[in-house]
Amino acid sequence: MSESIIGLASVLGSLDAFGSMMKARLEHAIADATEGTFNDAVDAVPVDTGELKDSASMTVAPTKGTVTFGTNHAWYIELGTHKMSAQPYLLPAFESNGAKFHLDVSSGLQ
């Protein structure tokens, strides 16, 4: 006795196509969220001498986006100290663009 599934190749092909489509959507969403986070953070960063703003950089890879500020005092500005209030610029940009990222990715599942 043998069993066969009719249409299995079609189902597997559809799953493969869906996986490829979701991978492309994810890569695009990562790039958009990284660029949005970078732009929003640069727009919001407090400027005294301009060193902090000028140190901003971003990198985007297929599955990872990174926004950095390359000064020794970047986190003191972001988080504050016992002598200075926080002036957040990176976390708000990340939170805002993270929400957009979630919507971009989840819309592909509907």
pTM: 0.81
List average pLDDT for each run of 10 residues in the chain, which is 110 residues long. Answer: 72 76 87 96 95 96 94 95 96 94 78
Predicted local distance difference test score (pLDDT) of residue 108: 65
Predicted local distance difference test score (pLDDT) of residue 106: 81
Contacts of 97 (CB under 8 A, 6+ apart): 32, 33, 34, 36, 37, 40
